[in-house]
Amino acid sequence: MKETTMNYWQIAQFFLSDTGVHEVEVNLTSAKLKCNCSGFEARKSCKHVRFVSSKMQQNDGVYPVEVSTRASREATFEASQNSAKFYKFLVQYGKIEVL
């Protein structure tokens, strides 16, 4: 019987740059990172992924998401329940990095 491996990607950070808004996602099972910028697509590496990776290394493998104090406890808890809600939560309350 073939074992299937699920890939669960979740947004980690939004970045604002001259080329647009870029998103770095983390795979929840392997901790691999990916970005939607053209640099990552061409080289499988970019400044956005390096930034997130560096922060994760400094925090024992966990990316420290920064959110506004306007986010309620209820909204924070609800966002932790699934990736789609977490994405919307970060759009509304998350810090956008500029590199």
pLDDT digits (tens, 9 = 90+) for 41-76: 999 999 999 999 999 999 999 999 999 999 999 999
Q: Which residue has the higher pLDDT, 12 or 2?
A: 12
Position 24 in a domain: yes
Whether the pLDDT of residue 32 is over 90: the answer is yes
Report the domain count for the chain: 1
Domain-located, residue 18: yes
Distance CA 69, CA 31 (A): 27
Residue 46 within a domain: yes
Residue 91 structural domain: 9-98
Place of tokens 């808890």: 77
Residue 43 is assigned to a structural domain of this protein = yes
Give whole-number Cα distances, 88 to 2, 23, 30, 45, 58, in Å. Answer: 35, 13, 23, 25, 26
Residue 39 lies in a domain: yes
Q: How much is the pTM? A: 0.85
What is the pairing mode between strands 33-35 and 20-27?
Answer: antiparallel
Specify if 2 maps to a domain: no
Q: What percent of the chain has pLDDT over 70?
A: 93
Q: CA gyration radius for the chain? A: 14
- Whether 4 maps to a domain, the answer reads no
Whole-angstrom distance, CA of residue 77 vs CA of residue 10: 16
Residue 3 located in a structural domain = no
Residues 7/20, Cβ–Cβ less than 8 Å: no
